[in-house]
Structure 1
Amino acid sequence: MRVVVASQHRPTRSAIAVLIEAQSDLELTGDVADFTDLLANIKSKRPELVVLDWDVLGKRIDTLQALLELFDEPPLIIALSVHEEARSAAFDSGVAGFAFKGDPPSQLLKVIREFQRTGEKRPQP
């Protein structure tokens, strides 16, 4: 599965990128800091999944989702947040999955692997 990481916070991007790259069955298509680079990555590398820093970029989720509709096969989005209460807002906005930044990295991998198995949206909790 091809994955792109989107966060304006470099340490967050780097940590998730290292985690993704360490998995033999996942391919990191890039780690980007803004929507312009994210859209360019989606257009050229066609990732199936976006790991999105909800605390920063999630504030503009409507814009992102409108832009993703321009793609024939838009990637699914997993939102990450340090705020547990962001989970319901993320699901309400249409993201397909959520991971809490305070959880161990294995939890994010669990959410990603769920998408690998099913290839579809994760049911809302």
Structure 2
Amino acid sequence: MEKLRVVLMDDHQVVLAGLKDFLEHSPNIEVVATFSATSELVSYVKASPPDVIITDYNMPNDEVYKDGLRFVDFLIRTFPQVKLLVLTMISNPMIVSALYDAGVAGVVFKQDPLSEVHSALRALRANTRYYPASFQSAGRRDEREVFLQQRINSLSPREFEVLRYFVEGESIAHIAERLNRSAKTVSLQKNSAMRKLNVESNQELIRFCVGNHIFD
């Protein structure tokens, strides 16, 4: 089996060294580089894309992206062929859901056993998303589903209607004609829906709606 080429990033050298040592005991994984600064990681990946990036969510000294979700979104947009696994101490369902909405391949909680990283990498090798075991418990699942439903329920009937046609592939002009509204009104309603669903691009919007089976 070909080795999975992995790049690691964390602002704590002890965490980096420990994770690198742990992963290098696996014959199917090769840690090709480690970084403690976002700019260094980005430069490396541009020159030599790995199979997987494992990165801490919170990089407090990051002066370029300043926000974990913004950095994650940048990596996914810039390196769509690289799978992204996020390490974090944060188990807030709102943030974790936002990470999956952004397109991460998996999230691993730092408070979980290190073996979860191996589980995540096995899932990524099989081209499936990884969800941490502690996040899949009944309580967490209920919490996640409630949060998701709250976002969907915040949509007005008109916004919901606009999204349904948009996800089906219709243009703003066609939706406006179909619903007998102006194109400006339809565009405003779509943008309002995007804010409520916490997505920032048309691609994220479609991925969110399709991935959560909103219109099935």
- Give TM-score, length-normalised by structure 2: 0.50
- Greater share of helix residues, 1 or 2? 2
Higher relative contact order (CA closer than 8 Å, sequence separation 6+): 1
What value does the CA root-mean-square deviation take over the aligned residues?
Answer: 2.4
| C-alpha distance after superposition, 1:36-79 (max 9, x if no partner) | 111122133321111110132792432453355344x5311111
Residue of structure 2 aligned with 1:65, choices 70, 73, 92: 73
- Give TM-score, length-normalised by structure 1: 0.81
Structure 1's unaligned 5+ residue stretches are none
- Greater share of strand residues, 1 or 2? 1
CA distance, structure 2, for counterparts of residue 106 and residue 64 of structure 1:
23
Name the stretch that deviates more: 105-114 or 35-44: 35-44
Evaluate the alpha carbon distance shift between residue 45 and residue 20 of structure 1 in structure 2; reply closer, same or farther with a 3 A threshold.
farther
CA distance, structure 2, for counterparts of residue 117 and residue 68 of structure 1:
19
CA distance, structure 2, for counterparts of residue 74 and residue 99 of structure 1:
20
Is the 8 Å Cα contact of residues 29 and 41 (structure 1) preserved in structure 2? Answer: no
Secondary structure class of the residue paired with 2:23: helix
- Structural mapping, 1:45-124, within 5 Å: 45-56=48-59, 59-66=67-74, 69-71=77-79, 74-85=81-92, 86-118=95-127, 121-122=128-129
Evaluate the alpha carbon distance shift between residue 123 and residue 107 of structure 1 in structure 2; reply closer, same or farther with a 3 A threshold.
closer
| C-alpha distance after superposition, 1:7-45 (max 9, x if no partner) | 111112111111121111011111101121111221333
Aligned length: 122
Evaluate the alpha carbon distance shift between residue 22 and residue 74 of structure 1 in structure 2; reply closer, same or farther with a 3 A threshold.
same
Correspondence for 2:46: 43
Identical positions, percent: 22
Secondary structure class of the residue paired with 2:47: helix
Based on CA coordinates, which of the two structures has the bigger radius of gyration? 2
